[in-house]
Structure 1
Amino acid sequence: MGNKNMPNVDGVIALRPSRISSVVAIAINGSKKSKYLIKWAFEKLIPEGGPEQVCFKLIHVFPVISVVPTPLGTGLPISQVRDDVAAAYRKELEWQTSEKLLPYKMWCIRRKVQVEVVQIESDDIAIAIAEQIAKFNINKLVIGASSMSGMLSRTVRIGWLKGQDLSSKISECCTTFCTIYAVSKGKLSSVRPSDPEAVPVARNDTIDTHTLSNYTSSNTINSQPGIICLKFLEGINSLFNALSLMFSRVDWERLSHFVSSFANEAVSACFNCEPCSDITDQKSKESSFRTDGHSWTTDQSSSLNASADFSSQFYVSSISITISCELEQLRMELRHVQQMYAKARNEAIDASRKLNDLHNQRLEETIKLKEMSLRIIEAKELAEQQKEAALRTAAEKEAIRDAKAREKLENSLTNPVHHYEEFTWDEIVSATSSFSSDF
């Protein structure tokens, strides 16, 4: 059945063309919140060349299959089931997971973004994601922010010294050349910046999952605040050197006043806690871990010699990390404001253009209305003139008839009455020319 501790990667992988310049890994679990992560990555991490130059690697981690259900509703351990039955059940679960993740893949495809859907079978989500990040040298990772975020946010939280959640565990396991963005409700919650001096490993190198598991479990079990602080300082020492060059123009006096109260509180929390006070009574112990064939040895006895200058180191490191997180957040906000300004400017230009079009259309309609009114007035005047002419003609005809009738009456009164009428011979011939010759 294979080693269950080793992640089994299987997914729908799309080939990335040569023009792909950036790969962004997004850890999703198939819930509605996963859409916020993808949408935020699309809005904030797309390069200027367009979405065609970026590839989204959607990473989904599901637990190792240990029980196979039976028709009776019970379950059998996978070790007691035939290999073909276990393989069929695993294929069915992978198909169901693919169907659940299909909407997120189609969302990216509709926006012309290259997408890879990777399914990983592992009981340790942080280790599985860290292995993918290191294997493909991915320098950007988007994850969901936990309710108690342990990653470094805009202010370094003292709560990180007291416990760990999934976000902080992922940030610890992932390589330092990867920038991790924690998103909550569609907004950036925290950022773990990358180490400028970190060198990515070759793609054919793999991570020793067992070693990473031991390292993570040891950090979880031995979570004394003093030890965690020392490891934290060692991890960001190189980052602070690079940030010092980047922020050489910053007014450190003003910043020291801003972070002095926080630094004192952090140092007090580290040295006044009960586990940290017991460090001086412990004997020197050495713990080593190995990753990619390289070994690092952490000597806990160095904490005794570093106690004197621990306060100053933590103070300076806190300043550098706070500035880095603040600048990263400000860059995101500035980019968002620029996009909103460009959108508002385009909307204002469109509104002005539409207003001018409406004004021109109104002027044209006003001119047409005036022309129509003039034509109506002219038509009315013409109708009045024609009516007056018809009335005059009718009156003239009536007057002529009256005159003729009056003249006839006058003639009948003045002239003698004739009981016969006289006709000439020509009139008689013309009148009888149509008669038959028989008459």
Structure 2
Amino acid sequence: MSRSNSEKKLGTGRVVAVAIENNKTSQYAAKWAVDNLLPKDQCLLLIHVRQRTSSISTPTGSQISVDANDDVARAYKQQMYNESRELFATFRVFCNRKNIQCQEILLEDTDVPKALMESVNTYSIELMVLGAPSKSGLVRRFRTTDVPNQVSKGAPPFCTVYIISKGKISTVKSATVQLTNTKATILSNTLQPQNQLSPSPDIMDAQLMQNHPPRRMPTYL
């Protein structure tokens, strides 16, 4: 679809999000969303859910709290911060090349599908794009949660969910109701580019949540 027809794209004036991980399936999903849903200069939400853990292993094999005032805990937080920063930076560069603005949302939860489904309500996301699960035998053997399909089945009725495999639609769950025009316009005008993570892993999550306050439950027709 050419940029000259960008005003006709499905995501024009709507909240569009891509759930990202550090893998090729997320890259395919982001590219498809930019090429097929978003007009030039519109904002894309990049959502990453970091798996929450309460304890980590020390070099001696013992377990300590991730909140402990300990060198191992601080090193772990720094590593998680660096990984999140690098992940968002990769997708931000891609969006910038396509003249697409992006807003970065970092969540932390033990249940990744639940966190993504809740984010649909929080940010009134009308179009959610996810990469399809890997088809490799090793991943199929050890993967216990099919995140894309769980999100597709459990997403609110106003959200259309696309699952993308190698640049093409694998499955799509269409919305059954629509957000009101007033609500959609307000959200579109409110979402602004958010291009930087917090400077310190100790305050990163708190600042990100301040930048992305929960919204009131959406109304739909």
Q: What's 2:91 paired with? A: 104
Q: Is the 8 A contact 2:25 2:133 kept in 1?
A: no
Match of 1:60 among 41, 48, 58: 48
Structure 1 pair 55–197 and aligned structure 2 pair: CA distance change class (3 A): closer
Shift in Å, 1:74:
3.1
Tell me what 2:192 maps to.
none
Counterpart mapping for 1:237-252 below 5 A: none
Q: How does 1:377-388 map to 2 (within 5 A)?
A: none
Q: Which residue of 1 aligns with 2:8?
A: none
The whole-number CA distance in structure 2 between the counterparts of 1:136 and 1:145 is 23
Do residues 51 (structure 1) and 74 (structure 2) align? no
Q: Which residue does 2:104 correspond to in 1?
A: 117
Deviation by residue 1:226-253 (Cα, 9 ceiling, x = unmatched): xxxxxxxxxxxxxxxx9xxxxxxxxxxx
Candidates 11, 33, 41, aligned match of 1:41: 33
- In our comparison, the structure showing a higher alpha carbon Rg is 1
- Counterpart pick for 1:205 among 188, 202, 216: 216
**Shift in CA distance, 33/172, structure 1 to aligned 2, threshold 3 Å:** closer
Corresponding residue for 1:178?
159
Contact 1:67 1:75 survives alignment (8 Å): no
Matched residues in 2 for 1:73 and 1:59: separation? Answer: 35
Q: Which structure is higher in RCO with an 8 Å CA cutoff and minimum separation 6?
A: 2
Give the distance between the partners of 1:92 and 1:146, measured in 2 at CA: 25
Please report how far the alpha carbon of residue 91 of structure 1 lies from its aligned counterpart in structure 2 after TM superposition. 4.4
Structure 2 letter corresponding to 1:129: L
Q: Distance in 2 between matches of 1:86 and 1:58?
A: 27
Alignment-mate amino acid for residue 114 of structure 1:
Q
Q: 1:137 to 1:82 in 2, by over 3 A?
A: same
- Going from structure 1 to structure 2, the CA distance change for 1:35 and 1:73 (only over 3 Å counts) comes to farther
Distance in structure 1 (CA, Å) of the matches to 2:100 and 2:47 = 16
RMSD: 3.2
Deviates more, 1:182-191 or 1:97-106: 97-106
How far the C-alpha of 1:166 sits from its partner, in A, is 2.6
Query: Residue 192 in 1 paired to residue 173 in 2?
Result: yes
Deviation, 1:85, is 6.9
Question: Which protein is richer in strand relative to its size?
Answer: 2
Instruction: Give the C-alpha shift of residue 82 in structure 1.
Output: 3.2
Query: C-alpha distance in 2, partners of 1:93/1:56?
Result: 23
Counterpart of 1:146 in structure 2 is: 133
Counterpart residue identity of residue 49, structure 2: V
SS of the residue aligned with 1:51?
Answer: coil
C-alpha contact 2:25 2:134 (8 A) present in aligned 1: no
Aligned equivalents of 1:145, 1:23: Cα separation in 2: 21
SS in 2 for 1:39: helix
Of the three residues 22, 39, 56, the one matched with 1:30 is 22
The two structures have a TM-score, normalised by structure 2, of 0.64
Secondary structure of the residue that 1:26 maps to in structure 2?
Answer: strand
Unaligned runs of 5+ in 2: 1-11, 136-144, 188-213
Greater helix fraction, Structure 1 or Structure 2 = 1
**TM-score after normalising by structure 1:** 0.34
Aligned to 2:122: 135
Q: What is the CA distance between 1:180 and its match in structure 2?
A: 0.4
The number of aligned residues is: 169
Equivalent position of 1:167 in the other structure: 148
Q: Which residue type is aligned with residue 36 of structure 1?
A: Y
Question: How far apart, CA to CA, are the structure 2 residues paired with 1:80 and 1:111?
Answer: 39
- The alpha carbon displacement at 1:138 in A equals 0.9
Counterpart CA distance in 1 for 2:80 and 2:53 is 9
Residue equivalent to 1:219: none
Specify the SS of the correspondent of 1:182.
strand
- C-alpha change, 1:90 and 1:107, in structure 2 (3 Å) is same
Aligned-partner Cα distance in 2 for 1:80–1:39: 37
Which of 70, 82, 95 is equivalent to 1:95?
A: 82
